[in-house]
C-alpha cells in the first residue's frame, strides 16, 4: 500500500530507525542522532522516536481530506464565506502554500482535490490507481477547474480559513509530507535547543538531513540515490546520485507513483492546473534539494518538485535557476527522452561517475544522458526505451 521511497541514502540505508507500520504515512528517523558530536543513547532515541511518531500521526490527522473532522475535511465541507478555524500547523502550511502558489505562478496549487478525484488519484482509489481508464469528459474537467482557484481561499485572523466558492476543495498531498519533515526537524531542534544536532529523517520520499553523516570518526556529506523512474524496465534501482549533501531537505516527485497507462499515454497523479489533466510536459522525475537555511525547506522541496511537472520544460528549468539563486536549490530533472538536466551548485553524478566516485569495482551502465539546459526544448520526444516502458506497463494491466 505504501509507495517505495524515491530517494535512498545510497550505500547507507537506515540501519537502525523507527518506522511506523499502522499509519498511511511511512516515515523513519535514523537512530544515528548526534548531539554536539555525541550519539544519543538508545533510551533517549526511543523517547524521541515515539514523539516523532505521535507528531506524524497528529499532523496526518489534520491534513487527511478523507477523515471526517480533520482540518482539511472541514475546509472542504464549508460553505462559501464560512470561516473554519484550523490548527496553527494547518494554518502555517496554508500560509506557506499561498507563497508557493505565487512563487510558482499557480503551478503548485493545493486547490485541486476535485480534479484529483476526477482522474482517480484520491485515496478512495487505493489499489486501483494503475487500472487503465478512459479520460473524464472535457465538461467535467472544465467544471472542476472553475472550482479549483486557490486565490479564492483566504486566511484570516485567529487561524481561520474562508472560501469564496463553497465547492473548492483542497488537497495538501503535494506538500504535506515535506512539511512533516520540517515539523520533525522543529521538534528535534527544540528538544536540543542550544546544541548542535545531526540527524536524518524521511517521510515518504521527503528527506531531511541535518548536519553530516558520521562515519568511523569523520563526518561527511550524504550520498543520495535518486530512484530510477523507469526501474520497471531498466532494472536499475538508482538512476542518478546527489553527493556530499548535508543540511538540506530533498524531495523527489515522479510519474512512476500513482499512475496508469491508457492508449499509450501515462497519466499520473500530478495535475497541471492549466489544463486540469495529469501533467504532460515530458518530465518523468524531479528531485529538489533545498538548504535548511531556507524556512520550511522540507515543504519547499516537496512543493517545488511537484511544480516542475506543471510548467513547460524550459520554464521549469528557469524556475529552478531562480530558486538556485534565491535559496541555493539544486534540482535534477529527468525527461521522457531519457535525458537529465541539473540546476544549481549541488553535485549530481551519473551511474558510472558515481561508481568511480565510491571506487566500486562493479561495471555499471548509465541510464540517462546529461543534457545542457541550453539544449532543452518544450517538446520532449519519447525515446525508444520510454516507448518500451509504456508498452511494458500497458501489458501488465
Ligand atoms: P508524492 O505524493 O508522490 O510525494 P508529490 O509530492 O509530487 O508526490 O505530490 C503529488 C500530490 O500532490 C498528488 O497526489 C496530489 O495530492 C497533489 N497535487 C497534484 N497536482 C498538484 C499541483 N499541481 N499542485 C499541488 N499539489 C498537487
Ligand atoms: Mg511534492
Q: Cβ(60)–Cβ(177) under 8 Å?
A: no
In the predicted structure, residue 15 carries a pLDDT above the cut 60: no
For residue 279 the three cell numbers come to 501533467
Protein residue closest via CA to atom 22 of ligand 1: 108
43-102 per-position pLDDT tens digit: 999 999 999 999 999 999 999 999 999 999 999 999 999 999 999 999 999 999 999 999
Ligand closest to Cα of 113 equals 1
Nearest to 300 by CA among 259, 256, 331: 331
Give residue-wise pLDDT tens across range 125-169.
999 999 999 899 999 999 999 999 999 999 999 999 999 999 999
- Residues 236, 381: one domain? yes
Ligand with minimal distance to 227 CA: 1
- Ligand 1, atom 9, lies closest to the CA of 174
pLDDT above 70 (res 303): yes
**Cα–Cα distance for residue pair 234/232, rounded to 1 Å:** 6
Question: According to the model, what pLDDT value does residue 3 have?
Answer: 37
Domain that holds residue 325: 7-15+207-395
Q: Identify the band that residue 26 occupies on the pLDDT scale cut at 50, 70 and 90.
A: confident
170 touches 75 (CB < 8 A): yes
271 Cα nearest atom in ligand 1 = 20
d(CA 360, CA 358): 6
Phi, psi at 286, each rounded to 5°? -130, 130
Q: How far apart are CA 226 and CA 177, in angstroms?
A: 18
Backbone φ and ψ for 269, nearest 5 degrees, come out as: -75, -5
- Centre of ligand 1 from the C-alpha of residue 306, in Å: 6
Claim to verify: residue 386 and residue 269 sit in the same structural domain: yes
Protein residue whose Cα sits closest to atom 15 of ligand 1? 173
**In angstroms, rounded to a whole number, what is the distance separating the alpha carbons of residues 373 and 317?**
7
Whether 216 and 89 map to the same domain: the answer is no
pLDDT at 18: 56
Same domain, 279 and 374: yes
Alpha-carbon distance 79 to 41, whole Å? Answer: 51
Look up the pTM and report it. Answer: 0.95
User: pLDDT band at residue 27, thresholds of 50, 70 and 90?
Assistant: confident
Contact between 320 and 333 (Cβ < 8 Å) = yes
Q: What is the mean pLDDT of residues 27-54?
A: 95
Q: Nearest C-alpha to atom 12 of ligand 1 is from which residue? A: 174
Same domain for 144 and 223? no
Question: What is the number of residues in the chain?
Answer: 397
pLDDT of residue 216: 83
| Partners of residue 108 on adjacent β-strands | none
Q: Ligand 2 centroid to 381 CA: how many Å?
A: 25
200 vs 12: CA distance, rounded Å: 12
- Give me ligand 1 centre to Cα 288, in Å: 14
* CATH code at position 373: 3.10.520.10
Same domain as 156, residue 253: no
Confidence (pLDDT) at 217: 83
What pLDDT is attached to residue 215?
86
Ligand 1 pocket, CB under 6 A: 108-110, 112, 116, 121, 171, 173-174, 177, 205, 253, 257-258, 269-271, 273, 302, 305-306, 310
Q: From the CA of 72, how far away is ligand 2's center (Å)?
A: 17
Pick the residue whose CA is nearest to atom 10 on ligand 1: 174
CA of 364 to the centre of ligand 2 (A): 30
Q: What are the φ and ψ backbone dihedral angles of 199, each rounded to 5 degrees?
A: -165, 170
Residue 295 lies inside a defined structural domain of this protein: yes
CA of 173 to the centre of ligand 2 (A): 7
Is residue 223 assigned to a domain? yes
Q: Band the pLDDT of 6: cuts 50, 70, 90.
A: low
d(CA 293, CA 355): 30
Q: Which ligand is nearest to the CA of 3?
A: 1
Rounded to the nearest angstrom, the distance between the alpha carbon of 176 and the centre of ligand 2 is: 8
C-alpha cell at 49: 522516536
Examine residue 43 and state whether it is found in any structural domain, yes or no: no
pLDDT at 193 over 50: yes
Q: Are 243 and 383 members of one domain? A: yes
- For residue 13, pLDDT over 90 is answered with no
Does some domain include residue 35? no
| Best residue for ligand 1 mutational test, from 269, 279, 333 (most atoms within 8 Å of Cβ) | 269
Residues 118 and 73: their CA atoms lie apart, in Å, by 18
The arithmetic mean of pLDDT across residues 239-260, rounded, is: 97
Nearest Cα to Cα of residue 341 among 364, 365, 374: 374
* Total number of domains in the chain: 2
In a shared domain, residues 237 and 359:
yes
pLDDT at residue number 160: 98
CB distance 181 to 101 below 8 Å: no
How many CB atoms are located within 10 Å of the residue 304 CB? 31
Amino acid at each position: 500500500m505504501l509507495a517505495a521511497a524515491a530517494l535512498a541514502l545510497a550505500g547507507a540505508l537506515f540501519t537502525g530507525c523507527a518506522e511506523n507500520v499502522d499509519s498511511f504515512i511511512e516515515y523513519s528517523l535514523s537512530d544515528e542522532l548526534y548531539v554536539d558530536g555525541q550519539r544519543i543513547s538508545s533510551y533517549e532515541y526511543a523517547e524521541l522516536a515515539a514523539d516523532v511518531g505521535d507528531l506524524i500521526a497528529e499532523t496526518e490527522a489534520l491534513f487527511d481530506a478523507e477523515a471526517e473532522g480533520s482540518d482539511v475535511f472541514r475546509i472542504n465541507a464549508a460553505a462559501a464565506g464560512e470561516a473554519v478555524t484550523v490548527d496553527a500547523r494547518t494554518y502555517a502550511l496554508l500560509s506557506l502554500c499561498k507563497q508557493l502558489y505565487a512563487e510558482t505562478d499557480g503551478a503548485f496549487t493545493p486547490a485541486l482535490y476535485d480534479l484529483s478525484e476526477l482522474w482517480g488519484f484520491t485515496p478512495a482509489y487505493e489499489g486501483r490507481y494503475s487500472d487503465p481508464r478512459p479520460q473524464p469528459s472535457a465538461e467535467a474537467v472544465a467544471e472542476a477547474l472553475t472550482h479549483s482557484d486557490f486565490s479564492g481561499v483566504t486566511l484570516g485572523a485567529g487561524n481561520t480559513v474562508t472560501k469564496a466558492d463553497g465547492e473548492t476543495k483542497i488537497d495538501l498531498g503535494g506538500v504535506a509530507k515535506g512539511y512533516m519533515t520540517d515539523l520533525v526537524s522543529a521538534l528535534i531542534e527544540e528538544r536540543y535547543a542550544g546544541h548542535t544536532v545531526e540527524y536524518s529523517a524521511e517521510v515518504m520520499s521527503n528527506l531531511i538531513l541535518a548536519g553530516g553523516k558520521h562515519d568511523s570518526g569523520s563526518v561527511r556529506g550524504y550520498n543520495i540515490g535518486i530512484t530510477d523512474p523507469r526501474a520497471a524496465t531498466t532494472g536499475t534501482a538508482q538512476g542518478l546520485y546527489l553527493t556530499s549533501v548535508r543540511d538540506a531537505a530533498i524531495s523527489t516527485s515522479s510519474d512512476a507513483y500513482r499512475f496508469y497507462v491508457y492508449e499509450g499515454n501515462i497519466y499520473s497523479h500530478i495535475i497541471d492546473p492549466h489544463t486540469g489533466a495529469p501533467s504532460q510536459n515530458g518530465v518523468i522525475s524531479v528531485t529538489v534539494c533545498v538548504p535548511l537555511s531556507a524556512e520550511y525547506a522540507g515543504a519547499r522541496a516537496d512543493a517545488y518538485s511537484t511544480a516542475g511537472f506543471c510548467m513547460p520544460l524550459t520554464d521549469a528549468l528557469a524556475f529552478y535557476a531562480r530558486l538556485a539563486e534565491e535559496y541555493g536549490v539544486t534540482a535534477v530533472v529527468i525527461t521522457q527522452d531519457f535525458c537529465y538536466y541539473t540546476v544549481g551548485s549541488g553535485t549530481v553524478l551519473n551511474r558510472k561517475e558515481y561508481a568511480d566516485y565510491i571506487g566500486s569495482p562493479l561495471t555499471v551502465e548509465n541510464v540517462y544522458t546529461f543534457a545542457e539546459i541550453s539544449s532543452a526544448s518544450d517538446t520532449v520526444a519519447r525515446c525508444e526505451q520510454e516507448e518500451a516502458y509504456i508498452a511494458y506497463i500497458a501489458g501488465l494491466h
